[in-house]
Structure 1
């Protein structure tokens, strides 16, 4: 009886083991096949489809731009590929004269410039009217004034007067924050350079990733020197954002893998989707929404202020770029440790990180009337501490 029971248990165990093993193998095959098909779909279908659509629209005079002919003639560009990073804005990359171009697509918009006349025919704005529309939009959105001659020259180059529908895709470019930030802050070199456009598609320089490996597996065994160097580069980048004229830029969401580096070793940020001017952010935060506490007044990682008397959100940001980077990039969470939150980080560095994340406990550590915005002095101390640790490692090597 006992022997029979033992054999029965063994048979059930073998049967269960075989099922688990077969299920694991099938799951592995499915995952591998999905990954392979996704890669093939991206390389063979998605990029080719985007390029084919662009060129067809160009041949039908729907799209315009100097980049159209270069991309579609089959001579200027070669080696078309899907991007090797997680940037969803990049449709594909291509090589021209040994330089890699990232081809992006402006976001879809719902507003229309056209209307129908009494005969049911589609009408477009006159060129001067379209010029004024663009100028007003840039002034209202970015608090920046563009000279009429600059806008006029752009429209003359990009739009064929016999094909006014081309202004629709150009309008789409102007409504895309990634494109506009790249154009408006080109001289500051904080976003990838805009290298041309074709309809709603535009090309930028391609950036190489500089993010060291992160995650629990690298909590102890990591490239500590590489992380420190990356942190210093990020802080130098933040200084550039804070000193931009006429007003600083605010990073309301930041991801380490969105930082990239140019061929001449300059750090830039891949996307401006959540980067706003101070003017833009104040307008977002001051929307008159009802609130009870400051955390009711947020835009992504940017924390606003709740008026205790009127119970409405006001426009004064309570944290700043440095606090956001310290919390979400440098420290992270227990499950996903940040760039500097490792077993190798000395207590002096971790203490400064904690102050940077929450400077509200001491008036001297935060900017007046902004409880969660660490002062420049805190930023300087943190930078110097990171540099000290990095230099010591470099000297030992």
Structure 2
């Protein structure tokens, strides 16, 4: 009996060990899943954490490779001569690298500019099939109408827009001459960069977007403006501002409202901002807000294409700051965005400004409370579950009216 009892005891202990092993495995799996989820959320909130280190040494190597390609006839551009030969476009510092994108500061004939490219190397971009077509190896006699058609196709692929030949003028340098192949390859590398195409189309049409100043191969230049940062009290550097903090914030807020109205109404399609944070905007000396990073800005046709994905819940339909809703009958996200540029700006920018910590004693308490309440209604409408979360239709005008009243009160104090 004793041996049998001992055996039963060993089996019971073995069973307990097996149960403990399963429990440990489950705990391990839960711990791992928690860390994976935490890492995913971190990357979503801070996509630059895995970006490569931004260094002067590497930045200079990148520009040196660009100039070798220029001198070899591989690429061209209206800034190449100044960068690679004349020394009138001088590298100053590396601003950031992020997911392949390179952003560098330079001086161009005494003017600070930013050089940008979606990829480090010219060879990273897809070449136009025309350059590989033996029938058109020379390229000089290729019909211009067919070239325009190819460019229009690239714009459709990049931005989801169908442009007429007239609308392609800002993207079409009329490629002809001894360096025709380099011209076409350079143009194609730029057409594959959403921000370049968007800024080129907005050229001279928007005071809220920086103009493209020129290009060399796959790098293009825009004016340098100091970006915002959550580390600034007012989110944006105001070193040159002669006005007080409260007036500067009111002016900037009104300019943000003007940007919202402009992007919503002044183009053939609404322009959606899907990554709203201080770092993606800058402020001119006259307090005009400029969207300096529009990699995540999309016109309505492209926005619908991005949002219309498979889903099992509403959380699957959130594309950064642009939200849609999941139709559980077909497990498909709606193609229409359910929040707005204004809502996200209220949430990410205005909430910081119109809190009690930034309130000015020169502004009446009643007006400060009205602004706080209106910003809250704008950022978080609080609709019942299942309904689209849109800001109230009158909130734009109400914010505008309150900000104008704030400026009047501040003006009266100054007088």
TM over 0.5, shorter chain:
yes
Give 1:1-397 correspondences, 5 Å limit.
41-42=55-56, 45-78=57-90, 80-82=91-93, 89-96=102-109, 98-107=110-119, 111-114=126-129, 127-128=142-143, 131-140=148-157, 141-147=159-165, 150=169, 154-156=173-175, 160-161=179-180, 164=181, 167-189=184-206, 190-209=208-227, 214=232, 223-262=245-284, 266-287=288-309, 289-292=310-313, 294-331=314-351, 338-345=352-359, 346-361=368-383, 371-397=388-414
Write the distance in 1 (CA, Å) between the matches of 2:97 and 2:254. 23
Match of 2:47 in 1: none
Work out the CA distance in 2 between the residues paired with 1:195 and 1:217.
27
**For 1:253-308, what per-residue CA distance to the aligned partner results, in whole angstroms no more than 9, with x for missing partners?**
11123222457764321011111101111111113x0223x332111111102214
Q: Is the 8 A contact 1:106 1:172 kept in 2?
A: no
How far apart in 1 are the matches of 2:220 and 2:177? 13
Structure 2: tracts of 5 or more residues without a match:
1-52, 237-243, 360-367
CA gap 1:214/1:117 in 2 versus in 1, 3 angstroms:
closer
Secondary structure of the corresponding residue to residue 50 of structure 1: helix
**Which deviates more from structure 2 when the two are superposed, residues 231-240 or residues 202-211?**
202-211
**SS of residue matched to 1:229:** helix
CA distance in 2, matches of 1:197, 1:342: 46
Cα deviation 1:213-266 (Å, max 9, x = unaligned): 546999xxx933333322222111111111122111011111123222457764
Separation of aligned partners in 2, 1:168 and 1:290 = 39
Over aligned residue pairs, what C-alpha RMSD do you find? 3.6
Partner Cα distance (1:192, 1:313) in 2: 33
User: Which deviates further from its counterpart, 145-154 or 272-281?
Assistant: 145-154
- Conserved in 1, the CA contact under 8 Å of 2:95 and 2:104? no
CA contact (8 A) 2:280 2:293 kept: yes
Q: State the alpha-carbon separation in 2 of the partners of residues 207 and 216 from structure 1.
A: 16
SS at match of 2:119: coil
**Cα distance change, pair 124–308 in 1 and its aligned pair in 2 (3 A):** farther
| Deviations, residues 354-388 of structure 1 (Å, cap 9, x unaligned) | 211222539xxxxxx97322244111101221232
- The offset of 1:112, in angstroms, is 4.5
Q: How many residues align?
A: 333
Report SS of the residue matched to 2:73.
coil
Query: Given that residues 96 and 104 in structure 2 are in contact (C-alpha distance below 8 angstroms), is that contact kept between their aligned partners in structure 1?
Result: no
**SS in structure 2 at match of 1:82:** strand
Residues 159 and 202 (structure 1), Cα distance of their counterparts in 2 relative to 1, 3 Å cut = farther
CA–CA distance in structure 2, aligned partners of residues 102 and 236 of structure 1: 25
Cα displacement (A) at 1:155: 4.6
- Say which is worse superposed, 98-107 or 303-312, in terms of deviation: 98-107
Of the structure 1 ranges 205-214 and 377-386, higher mean CA displacement relative to structure 2 is found in 205-214
Q: Does the 8 Å contact 2:70/2:80 carry over to 1?
A: yes
- Do the aligned partners of residues 297 and 75 (structure 1) sit closer, same or farther apart at CA in structure 2, a change above 3 Å counting? closer
Greater relative contact order (CA < 8 Å, ≥ 6 in sequence)? 1
Please, which moves more after superposition, 106-115 or 178-187? Answer: 106-115
Is contact 2:148-2:165 (8 Å) kept?
no
